């Protein structure tokens, strides 16, 4: 199902989710300020108000962040490109390259000639192929580490935002203290 959603639709959904989260946080802060300002006033009739919070678990939020974050998507693309470069370097180093050429030349002082050339590389015996493989493997490892860093950053931001929302909800539910 995620494969059917375009990148533009994901971006729109991400922006909507972020706007909704900002709205919830602003609403909770406003409610907290109202309770703090009216601590000395009569409370009035009790009201049944459902808590305004994110109804997704932290794991679901993390999965959505990984699936919809631009930095995660670009990091995945860079990792796939590094993997393709590694595979290409391995293929170049493993398989010999064969070349056959046919040439015709004509010098005004000599008679025309035809030439045939053939060459073959032997990458298993010598050449920079092994170095390219090692370099490509290192680049792929670096991109994998960068992807893990993006994942850790997303996890930190999501858990921090979730904890902040829960903290605001807890403050909202606390009874006003008359002091």
pLDDT in tens, 62-121: 888 888 888 888 888 999 999 999 998 888 888 888 899 999 988 888 888 899 999 988
pLDDT at 179: 47
Runs of H (alpha helix) within 45-128: 58-68, 70-94
- Whether residue 42 is contained in a domain is answered as no
Say how far apart CA 155 and CA 59 lie, in whole Å.
9
In 97-146, the DSSP E strands lie at: 98-105, 113-120
pLDDT at 99: 92
- Whether residue 47 is contained in a domain is answered as no
- Whether residue 7 is contained in a domain is answered as yes
pLDDT at 47: 54
- Whether residue 13 is contained in a domain is answered as yes
Q: How many CB atoms lie within 10 A of CB 69?
A: 20
Say how far apart CA 140 and CA 73 lie, in whole Å.
16
**Taking a C-beta distance cutoff of 8 angstroms, is the pair 46, 138 a contact?**
no
pLDDT at 72: 85
- Classify residue 108 as exposed, middle or buried by CB count within 10 Å of its CB (0-12, 13-18, 19+): exposed
* 22-29, Cβ contacts within 8 angstroms, sequence gap of 24 or more: 24/52, 24/53, 24/54, 24/165, 25/164, 25/165, 25/168, 27/52, 28/52, 28/165, 28/168, 28/169, 28/171, 28/172, 29/168
pLDDT at 133: 87
Q: Is the pLDDT of residue 1 over 50?
A: no
Q: How many domains does the chain have?
A: 1
- Classify residue 150 as exposed, middle or buried by CB count within 10 Å of its CB (0-12, 13-18, 19+): buried
What is the reported pTM? 0.51
- Whether residue 27 is contained in a domain is answered as yes
Domain that holds residue 66: 2-37+52-105+113-173
- Whether residue 179 is contained in a domain is answered as no
Say how far apart CA 97 and CA 121 lie, in whole Å.
5
- Whether residue 60 is contained in a domain is answered as yes
Q: How many CB atoms lie within 10 A of CB 143?
A: 20
Residue 149, token pair as written in the block = 């860093």
Compute the average pLDDT of residues 154-176. 76
């Amino acid at each position: 199902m995620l494969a059917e959603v375009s990148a533009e639709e994901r971006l729109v959904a991400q922006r909507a989710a972020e706007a909704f989260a900002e709205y919830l946080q602003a609403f909770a802060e406003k409610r907290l300020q109202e309770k703090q300002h009216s601590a000395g006033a009569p409370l009035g009739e009790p009201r049944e108000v459902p808590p305004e919070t994110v109804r997704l678990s932290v794991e679901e939020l993390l999965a959505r962040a990984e699936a919809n974050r631009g930095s995660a998507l670009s990091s995945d693309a860079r990792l796939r490109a590094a993997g393709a470069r590694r595979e290409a370097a391995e293929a170049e180093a493993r398989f010999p390259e064969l070349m056959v050429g046919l040439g015709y030349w004509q010098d005004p002082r000599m008679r025309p000639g035809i030439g045939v050339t053939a060459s073959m590389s032997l990458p298993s015996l010598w050449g920079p192929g092994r170095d390219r493989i090692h370099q490509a493997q290192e680049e792929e490892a670096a991109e994998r580490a960068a992807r893990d860093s993006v994942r850790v950053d997303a996890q930190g931001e999501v858990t921090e935002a979730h904890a902040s929302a829960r903290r605001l909800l807890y403050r909202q539910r606390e009874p006003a203290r008359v002091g």
